[in-house]
A and B are shown apart, each in its own frame.
Chain A
Amino acid sequence: MLKIENLHAEVDGKAILKGLSLTINPGEIHAIMGPNGAGKSTLSYTLAGRPGYDVTEGKVTFDGQDLLDLEPHERAAAGLFLGFQYPVEIPGVSNVQFLREALNAQRKKRGEDALSGGDFLKRAKVQADALGFSMDMLKRPVNVGFSGGEKKRNEMVQMGIIDPKLAILDETDSGLDIDALRVVSDGINRIMRTPDKAVLLITHYQRLLDYVKPDFVHVLAGGRIVRTGGAELAHELEREGYGTIAA
């Protein structure tokens, strides 16, 4: 589904990713762990196409097409979703309006019919209910006045409504208490744990991986993947730290 080959990327002229390669197949959940400054967020922004994250070398294909050739909104329409580490507030724009416009823009790009207001609300309500998110919150301006946990839950509601093929979740677990972590994890499993979808989890902590079981765990250090293993690798990291592995 996603094939990253020898990816080099820089921010403000500073090289951050230095030859990263990774292949994600449908049905797989990959976790990327690594010390601060290893390039985890740079990887997620680069894949989503954020301006200022410049690819200097390498190749990324998504379902066979050249991902790096697409604008951010085209990547979204192609089925890529980025769950933000710090979800952004948009005053005066309700969640419902935001997501309906975004979803219909994606559908239009894919040549599908727009969802009517009624159909959209039904779809939104299913996702909101599953994530313990009230319709009232859905009608409030995007992330304005939301707590850290509510913002992260909102990301999962958005992911449920948009229903992407590949979700890149950038520290979706940070700032969550244990109950919220469970709700969010259940959301990830419910929405994305299917044979035709895939997830790239970026996290600092093992605890998320207790709920969302990864098929592969990668250690990112110095802009490259330095080690790959199964779920057990996360435990090892938790015990021993990145020091020896990333060195």
Chain B
Amino acid sequence: MSDVRNAEAQAAADRASTYEWGFTSDIEQDFAPKGLSEDTVRFISAKKNEPEWMLEWRLKAYRHWLTMTPPDWAKLNVPPIDYQDAYYYAEPRKKDGPASLDEVDPEILRVYEKLGIPIEEQKVLAGVEGARKVAVDAVFDSVSVATTFRAELERAGVIFRSISEAIREYPDLVKRWLGKVVPMRDNYFATLNCAVFSDGTFVYIPEGVRCPMELSTYFRINAENTGQFERTLIVADKGSHVSYLEGCTAPMRDENQLHAAVVELVALDDAEIKYSTVQNWYPGDAEGRGGIYNFVTKRALCQGKNSKVSWTQVETGSAITWKYPSCVLAGENSVGEFYSVAVTNNRQQADTGTKMIHLGKNTKSTIVSKGISAGRSDNTYRGLVRVAPTAEGARNFTQCDSLLLGSTCGAHTVPYIEVRNPSAQIEHEATTSKISDDQLFYAMSRGLDQEASVALIVNGFAKEVLQQLPMEFAVEAQKLLGISLEGSVG
């Protein structure tokens, strides 16, 4: 519990320091009018003092986006989205936020309590008026801790900036890699992101450097401002190593219903990137009203020989999740991994999985997907393993397990396997099971209540994935799985 508290205090301290460092100024005074047009794109670019090439890139994306249609192949029922009925830059602060925690949905407060989040942090998460300042004051003393971390990163030569800053300060690096892993025209949501991305993170790990700490977006980013169209670019130079954490176990209030992030990772020779996500955006009420639509494009390019990228995700939130963190295994002996737990409850829909594209010789990929469905939700694993003619000796192991709670939910597994090299070895295992009454009663007869029993069984089911997470994240994720499934049995 104290770990959670420390992490939250740290997060608050880090948010506090964003003010000091002035990454996001004027957000309350200045915003683009509602709707999407070339003017919106120009406004965003101008607000960020972007160079001309960046504006041109955005406009090109925008013009292409106009010719595209949303993808409809996923097993998702997506209501029509009105792109003109949204703010694309710094939505004006709503004045109808809760005035105090007394006005916040007691369900949400109960979850905060269970996660052990301090009161002041709860206010920030719930969007209580004026709470941010209070939270900042409350942890003022630990601001220096964040500064110390920053100094340590700089000593190691690690560049860790908001993407807007990086565009101005490291234009060559950004220009070289932005859009190289996820091309501008990749898909409807990625192209939209190219046009209007609000902010995000840039990380560069120099040759031979092992990043001295786990990097978290909390360190620097003002989450309120970047949540909607986030853009992340991580480049790991030769022989470097970095572990990056994204997300938050606490359900966070967000006025933006549509989220379309793009994450690009590049690993050069012998480099390794570990990218861990806990996604717990608001899933909507029991009928699915008001939840976040999460359309994310995440892809890694293992460009160098012996490079390795490992994606780990715990997805419990959002009304709709459309997300396929992928690896393009170009370098010889490169390795891609995907470990996923996706939980859907009530009316949630998730269509998530991965793509492993084997191009280089002796490339290896591992996919472990654990889908947990409850309520009246639908949970689909969709995964592609493609072995190109050049990928001599490629290997893949895929394991897809689905766990059902109750009899009104759905679990689906859609594997695509395309092999164009006869030396490839591909293995695919899939299981579907239900939490049995036997298991529940056995656990309860030993003294665990029903909630604790479900949490225990589900965590056992997801263990192979959870153990891939960094320790402090894993503990929170375990609690989160239990909480996400409360009331789904019996």
Contacts and interface: CB of A to CB of B under 8 A. Distances in A.
Interface in B448-469: 448-450, 452-453, 456-457, 459-464
Interface stretch (A22-30, A92-100, A221-229): A92-100
Given A51-B441, A88-B438, A88-B442, A102 B460 contact: no
Contact of B445 (A72, A90, A93, A99): A72
A136 B464 CA distance: 19
Interface in B4-44: none
Given A92-B463, A98-B456, A99-B446, 13 more contacts: A71-B450, A72-B441, A73-B444, A88-B439, A88-B442, A90-B439, A90-B460, A93-B459, A101-B448, A102-B443, A102-B446, A105-B448, A141-B460
B323 to A, nearest CB: 24
A133 interface: no
A90 B447 contact: no
B437 interface: yes
Interface string B192-204: 0000000000000
A82 interface: yes
Contacts of A71: 444, 449-450
Given A101-B456, A105-B452, A90 B442 contact: yes
A46 to B, nearest CB: 12
Given A87-B442, A88-B442, A91-B461, A103 B456 contact: no
Nearest to B455: A101
A162 interface: yes
Contacts of B460: 90-93, 141
Interface in B411-458: 436-439, 441-450, 452-453, 456-457
A200 to B, nearest CB: 15
Chain B, interface residues (CB within 8 Å), range: 20 to 34
Given A51-B441, A72-B441, A102-B443, A92 B448 contact: no
A101 B464 CA distance: 20
A72 B444 contact: yes
B447 A109 contact: yes
Contacts of A84: 442, 445
Interface string A49-91: 1111000000000000000000111011100011010111111
A79 to B, nearest CB: 10
Contact of B446 (A50, A91, A162): A162
Given A90-B460, A92-B460, A92-B462, A102 B448 contact: yes
Interface in B142-173: none
B389 to A, nearest CB: 39
A7 interface: no
Contacts of A185: none
Interface in A202-243: none
A111 B217 CA distance: 41
Contacts of B464: 92
Contacts of B448: 73, 101-102, 105
Nearest to B456: A93
Contacts of B444: 49, 71-73, 76
Contacts of A109: 447
A92 B445 contact: no
Contacts of B447: 73, 76-77, 102-103, 105-106, 109, 162
Contacts of B438: 86, 88
Interface of B: 436-439, 441-450, 452-453, 456-457, 459-464, 490
B446 A98 contact: yes
B464 to A, nearest CB: 7
A98 B443 contact: yes
B459 A90 contact: no
B457 to A, nearest CB: 6
A127 interface: no
29 contacts: A51-B441, A52-B437, A72-B445, A73-B445, A73-B447, A76-B445, A76-B446, A76-B447, A77-B447, A81-B445, A84-B442, A86-B438, A88-B439, A88-B441, A88-B442, A89-B439, A90-B442, A90-B456, A92-B459, A92-B460, A92-B462, A93-B463, A99-B446, A101-B456, A102-B446, A103-B447, A105-B452, A141-B460, A162-B446
A187 B165 CA distance: 69
A61 B449 CA distance: 21
Contacts of A91: 460-461
Nearest to B438: A88
B24 to A, nearest CB: 42
Ranked nearest first, the 3 interchain pairs of A and B with the lowest CB-CB distance are: A92-B460, A93-B460, A102-B446
Nearest to B464: A92
Nearest to B458: A92
A115 to B, nearest CB: 13
Nearest to B370: A92
Given A71-B449, A101-B456, A102-B448, A90 B463 contact: no
B446 A158 contact: yes
A48 interface: yes
Contacts of B456: 90, 93, 97-98, 101
B447 to A, nearest CB: 4
Interface string A100-122: 01110110010000000000000
B175 to A, nearest CB: 46
A109 B449 CA distance: 10
B437 A51 contact: yes
Nearest to A82: B445
A105 B439 CA distance: 17
A101 B452 contact: yes
Nearest to A45: B441
Contact of A50 (B441, B443, B457): B441
Nearest to A105: B447
Nearest to A92: B460
A31 to B, nearest CB: 21
A81 B445 CA distance: 7
A116 to B, nearest CB: 15
Contact of A105 (B441, B449, B462, B490): B449
A177 B191 CA distance: 68
A90 B440 CA distance: 10
A2 to B, nearest CB: 16
A158 B449 CA distance: 17
B122 to A, nearest CB: 25
A203 B415 CA distance: 49
